[in-house]
Structure 1
């Protein structure tokens, strides 16, 4: 490969890296995910997303105007053939503090869930409980998960299609036991970018053989639907993601979220009144300068 070709590839990689760092910094700033003195427990699965999250958070930590600590945690669920040496070797090589938790949730899931049925629900509950316990043991104030923008949109549609709720993955929420704050620093990052970033970084990816091979997962169907939309209608995914950040309760149907019963003609016009019946305005996403997250310049999409 010529030097010019190598330089072009390097430039493209740097551009992608800067974008992911910028978007992560923006999400952290928008939702106040990380504060001075925090101890962040970064949950590392061995997949591209959690590797990228750890890399980006370590880089942001080095430049941030605040002080916070990072400890990487992996839950070894004792899946047959799991290459248990890969993560410790990688984490040692980058010099990050880490802890490997060994819990045989694999056998429990296989014992409780019939062959061919979705294992994700039970597996996630078991994993969540263990991670909460470990966070308490470590004194971690935040638990960082590697879910990205596409995960959030998939969850939105899954809840609409199968749960009857307008609900997604929030970028920040209280843990089930009320003792920890769960954060998703990659909330603004596209999966396609994370896939390419993982290839650029040459991460030692560990596949999840427990649930990743189940073709009947509804999430895979929703993922395929969104991918098809993105291919046929460029920009639709960005618009949908913008929509979940611009909720108008008065123009939905949740009477517990908005007080329709006491709405009176004597009140001021709310959210534009009946312009909700007008055709939606169609515009291209705009990029503008905005605030800074952890000392890193960021941009936002409108």
Structure 2
């Protein structure tokens, strides 16, 4: 990749992170942001962009990088401290043998993600309190959010994704995801260009048939076959019409009476759905339907 394209990629990620921060008011004046650094491409990219944004931000905030050393066999303990020292950023390495607990509690062959995640989460929340962090920044990106949406739909029967900003489950901390608008393929490319010292997770990364991996493979296949579909699906998470879903807890269906105002266009189920020309792939519909669609539009 030439210098021009490298700069374009950096500017795109920087702009997307800036937009997410602004849209959700993720960072405020005086914040102390605990940047959770796993040693993977996502968290390295998040830290790199946040450091860059801090220089030109119109507000003052602090960054402290925190890594949880889970005592996995062969974990290169020197890599992150050396890297963070080279950046001149405040950091903290938390050492907890969660690897040993997971291996003890989870039978061989079973997925370890659930327990590992709970243990990790509790330790990071405790650390955030200890260091006086006002926000906890996690490196989840746009693709992670979509994967979570489909995981909940397919396996949990819920229309629920991963929010860019929310209170944690104990009500003590605000969790933010500055990479919420960033594509994973852009992050992969950026991490390669920056040559971050990636540390693989040997505890869960090699587990076969993980539900999340199945969803990831499905979305990647869709992205190859139908360019633009992933972008459209993510936009859908930002364009929710509660009156046209089925949850009576979120919308007062019982209260609808004849003579009321029309809500969000009303029920147009009898009409042919109008689809913008750039929102579908022509290979998905029949030639006859395509001709009819062109005639109508």
TM-score normalised to structure 2 length: 0.92
Q: Answer whether contact 1:43 1:143 (CA < 8 A) is retained.
A: yes
**Aligned counterpart for 1:200 among listed residues 180, 193, 198:** 193
- 1:38 is the counterpart of 2:26: no
- SS at the partner of 1:109? helix
Structure 1: runs of 5+ lacking an equivalent: 1-7, 286-302
**Aligned counterpart for 2:141 among listed residues 136, 148, 161:** 148
Q: Answer whether contact 1:74 1:99 (CA < 8 A) is retained.
A: yes
For 1:240 and 1:282, the matched residues in 2 are separated by: 14
Deviation at 1:34, TM superposition (A): 0.4
1:119 aligned residue: 112
For 2:165 and 2:277, the matched residues in 1 are separated by: 29
Change (3 A) 1:158 1:280: farther
Q: Answer whether contact 1:135 1:143 (CA < 8 A) is retained.
A: yes
- SS at the partner of 1:98? strand
1:240 aligned residue: 233
- 1:177 is the counterpart of 2:167: no
Deviation at 1:284, TM superposition (A): 3.0
**Aligned counterpart for 2:151 among listed residues 154, 158, 167:** 158
For 1:202 and 1:259, the matched residues in 2 are separated by: 53
- SS at the partner of 1:221? helix
> 1:50-107 CA deviation, whole Å, 9 max, x = no partner?
0000000011010000000000000000000000100000000011100000000001
- SS at the partner of 1:79? coil
**Aligned counterpart for 1:274 among listed residues 267, 275, 285:** 267
- 1:49 is the counterpart of 2:42: yes
**Number of matched pairs:** 278
Deviating more after overlay: 259-268 vs 161-170? 259-268
For 1:109 and 1:101, the matched residues in 2 are separated by: 17
**Aligned counterpart for 2:202 among listed residues 181, 184, 209:** 209
For 2:91 and 2:29, the matched residues in 1 are separated by: 21
**Aligned counterpart for 1:67 among listed residues 40, 43, 60:** 60
Deviation at 1:265, TM superposition (A): 1.8
1:296 aligned residue: none
> 1:106-130 CA deviation, whole Å, 9 max, x = no partner?
0111111111111111101000000
1:107 aligned residue: 100
Note the aligned Cα RMSD (angstroms).
1.0
Deviation at 1:149, TM superposition (A): 0.2
TM-score normalised to structure 1 length: 0.90
Change (3 A) 1:78 1:261: same
For 2:44 and 2:140, the matched residues in 1 are separated by: 11
Structure 2: runs of 5+ lacking an equivalent: 280-297
Q: Answer whether contact 1:251 1:276 (CA < 8 A) is retained.
A: no
> 1:142-188 CA deviation, whole Å, 9 max, x = no partner?
00000000000000000000000000000001011111100000000
Structure number with bigger Rg: 2
Deviation at 1:277, TM superposition (A): 5.0
For 2:119 and 2:33, the matched residues in 1 are separated by: 21
